[in-house]
């Protein structure tokens, strides 16, 4: 079955709730979309929201690449060769993961819809469901508790709390969450490169009674050797994020002794499902657990990450809340979310439905 048409566009998906991380405030987000239509009318859709400060690519650059002769040249090619097309896109746009993610996701969706199976079934489903965390940005104690109360009411059981600006304030917020909610919430932390090694040591000491599940990328990229001075049990709780851009980085981080016990895989860093599975395959023999994250993204790419996550037996954590606070989206469907637990909907491809308005 041949590809009949390819269309790309950019759309602003405003956030319902702006939030703050260690480096900036985030109020809105542009996603780039790619629609691939086959000769029989089957349509696959991809989406991307690369983070320029992490991967050096903007959605505007992604759009230009998707409208280029390289991608448009896929018209007339056989969808059964979708992996070859992904490889060709990777050769044409190296180190541009937003471009590659949109191409990869759209091709996966189109091929698996044409085949009549979910993407996760094509790779072999290992996991049926997992609870996702939902994120609380950097804010005061009262505002943190207010937002936590909302998530409690909505049925979520896992919080990811942004930290990294001040250790004392960070621990105060986490301690207050534990005081109010006891063990109702599993709490994980994302420092977004905000700590020094000394601050991280202080954090671990002061937060020890609070039963923190994991800590995402506390130190700047390139500081992995500093992490090796920490005890093994602390390093096991650390998740590589900004340092883990692709399979090459995964290979370096998988060497013994491990600076991180967890890999946070984001399709927007590694260029889609194929790149994510390359990282996952490196992590498995190294004994590294998988944690699947996201940016502020459409249901499309969030669902793609969920399918990839559930195809990996060493997936332990998901943080796929990036579409929950969007004011608009271009699709519905994809995943099913009940009381904070996510699962795929069992429909072919990604199981998303394109909105026509």
Nearest 5°: the CA angle 240, 185, 300 is 55
Query: What pLDDT is stored for residue 61 in this prediction?
Result: 96
| Strand (E) or helix (H) holding 7 | strand 3-12
Region 24-39: mean pLDDT is 84
Q: What is the pLDDT of residues 303-312, one digit of tens each?
A: 999 999 999 9
Q: Which residue has the higher pLDDT, 24 or 35?
A: 35
Question: For 118-122, 146-150, 169-173, 328-332, which range has the lowest pLDDT when averaged over its residues?
Answer: 328-332
Q: How far apart (Å, rounded) are the C-alpha atoms in residues 224 and 71?
A: 37
- Integer angstrom CA distances of residue 339 from 137, 297, 332: 21, 21, 19
Q: Buried b vs exposed e over 309-337: b needs ≥16 C-beta within 10 Å?
A: bbbbebbbbbbbbbbbbbeebbbeebbeb
pTM of the model as a whole: 0.95
pLDDT-derived band at 24, boundaries 50, 70, 90: low
Tokens of residue 310, six digits: 């559930």
Q: 156-176 burial, b for 16+ CB within 10 Å, e for fewer? A: bbbbbbbbbbebeebbebbee
Reported confidence tier of residue 356, pLDDT bands at 50, 70, 90: low
Taking alpha carbons only, the member of 162, 178, 239 closest to residue 210 is 178
Gap between the terminal Cα atoms of the chain: 28
Over residues 68-81, the pLDDT tens digits come to: 999 999 999 999 99
Which carries the bigger pLDDT value, residue 268 or residue 25? 268
Sequence-distant (6+) residues with CB within 8 A of 60 are: 10, 30
Q: Which fold has domain 3-116?
A: Enolase-like; domain 1 (3.30.390)
What's the CA gap between 216 and 239, in Å, rounded?
5
Q: CATH number of 121-354: 3.30.360.10, 3.90.1150.10, 3.30.930.10, 3.20.20.120?
A: 3.20.20.120
Mean pLDDT, range 129-153, rounded to an integer: 96
Task: Provide the token pair at 62.
Answer: 């992604």
Q: What are phi and psi of 28, to 5 degrees?
A: -160, 170
| pLDDT-derived band at 27, boundaries 50, 70, 90 | low
Distance from C-alpha of 337 to C-alpha of 306, rounded to nearest angstrom = 12
pLDDT band at 357, cuts 50/70/90? very low
Whole-number pLDDT of residue 29: 82
Tell whether the model's pLDDT for residue 174 goes beyond 70. Answer: yes
pLDDT, mean of residues 100-108: 98
Q: What DSSP string runs through 95-149? A: T-HHHHHHHHHHHHHHHHHHHTSBHHHHH------EEBPEEE-S--HHHHHHHHH
**216, 294 Cβ separation under 8 angstroms:** no
pLDDT tens digits for 212-248? Answer: 999 999 999 999 999 999 999 999 999 999 999 999 9
When pLDDT is averaged across residues 179-193 and rounded to a whole number, the result is: 96
Please check the confidence at residue 353 and state whether its pLDDT lies above 80.
yes
Give which of 117, 115, 109 is closest to 46, Cα–Cα.
109
Q: Supply the DSSP symbol for 16.
A: S
pLDDT in tens, 143-170: 999 999 999 999 999 999 999 999 999 9
**Would you list the DSSP string of 25-55?**
EE---EEEEEEEEETTS-EEEEEE---HHHH
Q: Where are the domains of the chain?
A: 3-116, 121-354
Q: How far is CA 37 from the centre of its chain?
A: 26
Average confidence score pLDDT of the chain = 95
Is residue 193 helix, strand or coil?
A: coil
pLDDT in tens, 273-302: 999 999 999 999 999 999 999 999 999 999
């Amino acid at each position: 079955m041949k590809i009949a048409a390819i269309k790309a566009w950019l759309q602003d998906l405003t956030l319902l709730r702006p939030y703050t991380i260690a480096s900036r405030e985030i109020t809105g987000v542009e996603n780039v979309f790619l629609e691939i239509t086959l000769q029989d009318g089957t349509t696959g859709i991809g989406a991307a929201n690369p983070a320029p400060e992490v991967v050096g690519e903007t959605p505007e650059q992604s759009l230009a690449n998707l409208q280029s002769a390289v991608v448009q040249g896929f018209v007339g090619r056989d969808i059964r060769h979708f992996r070859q097309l992904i490889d060709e896109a990777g050769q044409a746009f190296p180190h541009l993961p937003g471009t590659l993610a949109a191409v990869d996701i759209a091709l996966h969706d189109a091929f698996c819809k044409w085949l009549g199976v979910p993407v996760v079934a094509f790779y072999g489903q290992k996991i049926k469901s997992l609870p996702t965390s939902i994120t609380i940005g950097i804010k005061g104690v009262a505002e943190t508790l207010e937002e936590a109360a909302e998530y409690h009411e909505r049925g979520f059981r896992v919080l990811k709390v942004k930290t990294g600006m001040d250790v004392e304030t960070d621990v105060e917020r986490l301690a207050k969450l534990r005081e109010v909610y006891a063990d109702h919430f599993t709490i994980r932390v994302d420092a977004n490169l905000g700590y020094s090694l000394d601050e991280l040591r202080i954090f671990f000491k002061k937060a020890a009674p609070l039963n923190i599940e994991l800590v995402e990328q506390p130190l700047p990229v390139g500081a992995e050797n500093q992490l090796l001075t920490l005890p093994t049990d602390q390093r096991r709780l650390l998740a590589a994020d900004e340092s883990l851009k692709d399979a090459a980085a995964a290979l370096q981080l998988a060497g013994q002794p491990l600076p991180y016990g967890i890999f946070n895989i984001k399709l927007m860093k590694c260029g889609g499902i194929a790149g994510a599975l390359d990282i996952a395959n490196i992590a498995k023999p190294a004994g590294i657990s998988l944690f699947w994250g996201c940016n502020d993204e459409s249901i499309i790419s969030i669902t793609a990450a969920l399918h990839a996550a559930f195809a990996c037996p060493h997936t332990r954590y998901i943080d796929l809340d990036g579409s929950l606070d969007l004011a608009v989206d271009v699709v519905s469907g994809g995943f099913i979310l009940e009381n904070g637990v996510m699962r795929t909907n069992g429909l072919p491809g990604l199981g998303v439905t394109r909105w026509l308005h």
